[in-house]
Amino acid sequence: MSKLPAVLARLDADLEASLARLSAWLEIPSISTDSAYAADSRRAAQWLRDDLASLGFDAALRETAGQPVVLAHRPKPGAPHVLFYGHYDVQPVDPLALWESDPFKPVVKEIEPGRKVIVARGACDDKGQVMTFVEAMRATIAETGDLPVGVTILVEGEEESGSVNLPAFIRDNAAALKAGLALVCDTGMWDRQTPAITASLRGLVYQEVTIRCADRDLHSGLFGGAAANPIHVLSGIVAALKDTDGRITIPGFYDGVAEPSAEQKRDWEELGLTEAEFLGQIGLKHSIGETGRLLIEQIQSRPTCDVNGIWGGYTGEGTKTVIAAEASAKISFRLVGEQDPERIAAAFQAFVRERLPADCTATFIAHGASPAIAVSQDLPALQQARTALSEEWGRKAVAIGSGGSVPVVGDFKTLLGMDTLLVGFGLDDDRVHSPNEKYDLSSFHKGQRSWARILQALAS
């Protein structure tokens, strides 16, 4: 007979104690981007290591060139084995004046009738999410004496500062990290009542381009009308990147972009995402994405091109009648499907060079390139998790894409040959990276119950 009901009952009874444990961890200001908090970051890692050791894990801090990694193992011979990833570092709290309470003194408050949240830096990203998994394991071990699957825990302390040391750590510890499946709890739900599995992540190509014309800044009264203006040149090239239907015009850009299945598209249509709902929250009304595409396609399953910054010439106070010698822009592409980051970067550079006047040159700086990641809808683990989530929340769990990128998922695939299941319980209004970050208590509680169900389902 399954002991899952007893595990779920224990999670219900232990909610206050689990909230106290989370609060104790949240009180540690583990800001990875500020060296002044290096000791606190280590203390946060030690806190988690000790908590995992209390659950019977072989837990240790493993050093890197930066903050340590928490690595813990609890094998179960003969059973499937999973690798769980999270991070213990948090974003800086600035601007502090906008916080309604101390960001490192967690408070529980009711933000609307019947809706309670915990407010603190890291409440959602990612300490609260990590602890949903830890608490599910705690209750399972307490009620059954063991876990249904073998588990390795990898929790890093530099995700908010670029995970610069993580790929090397994964490469050097591949044997210790090998598992049948990776689990990540650093994503969100569709809404407060609808659980979601993030089945795809867009890749990224980020290029910086500088166009140079004259050998110095020029007096626009003397040279205007004859000398090439790099700001004009750059602006024209940027404008040419998209047509009037929102399609990106770089030759070969859409190679490797697949259409969603009919079933997937029906699921997305049923979600009913509207421009008013999605764009209204940021003061906009109309999508400028590809004509003929669902809004949800535009933000998660189609590739994009965005200018992230553009500058040149005189931008100070007052006026200066100058034709600049150079102009620059930072441009990012979000990739999907089988789009090749290196080919996209090369095609973009060729696109720019083909549009340069004879006297102008272009130089480029690459700021990163990673492929898109997708989990097959037919993956048994995805289907098992989807069923488990649906049973817990009483609603069909949706498989969605994320417009963002999670580089560690690519590392797991390329370095360990491992698929990743991204199940998270964050919400759009959790104010992640902003003042007054919060995590709904329903997300924290039902997230624990969801992981208990998923761990049981993965055992089969």
Residue 255 φ/ψ region, left for φ over 0, alpha for ψ in the -120 to 50 degree band, beta for the rest: beta
Domain spans, the chain: 4-201+372-458, 204-257+303-370
Contacts for 166 with CB less than 8 Å, ≥ 6 apart: 64, 69, 156, 158, 159, 408, 411
Q: Look up the CATH number of domain 204-257+303-370.
A: 3.30.70.360
pLDDT at 249: 98
Is CATH 3.40.630.10 correct for 4-201+372-458? yes
pLDDT at 315: 94
pLDDT at 346: 98
The 10 Å Cβ neighbour count of residue 90 is 31
Instruction: Return the axis-axis angle of helices 4-13 and 441-458, rounded to nearest 10°.
Output: 160
Condensed to tens digits (0 to 9), the pLDDT of residues 70-82 reads 999 999 999 999 9
Decide the pairing of beta strands 196-201 and 373-374.
Answer: antiparallel
Rounded Cα gap, residues 247 and 236, in angstroms: 16
Same CATH topology for 4-201+372-458 and 204-257+303-370: the answer is no
Q: Which of 392, 405, 402 is nearest to 443 (CA)?
A: 392
Contact 422, 454 (CB under 8 A): no
Q: Which of 169, 151, 149, 150 is nearest to 159 (CA)?
A: 169
Rounded mean pLDDT for each run of 10 residues along the chain, 460 residues in total = 92 98 98 97 98 98 97 97 98 97 98 97 98 98 98 97 94 97 96 94 94 97 96 98 98 95 88 92 93 94 96 96 97 95 97 97 93 89 97 94 83 94 95 96 98 96
Contacts for 260 with CB less than 8 Å, ≥ 6 apart: 268, 297, 301
pLDDT at 1: 57
The values of phi and psi at residue 103, to 5°, are -65, -20
What is the token pair recorded at 423? Answer: 């199940």
Rounded Cα gap, residues 332 and 368, in angstroms: 9
pLDDT at 197: 96
What is the token pair recorded at 95? Answer: 């601007």
The 10 Å Cβ neighbour count of residue 6 is 15
Residue 43: which H helix or E strand, with range? helix 38-54
pLDDT at 125: 96
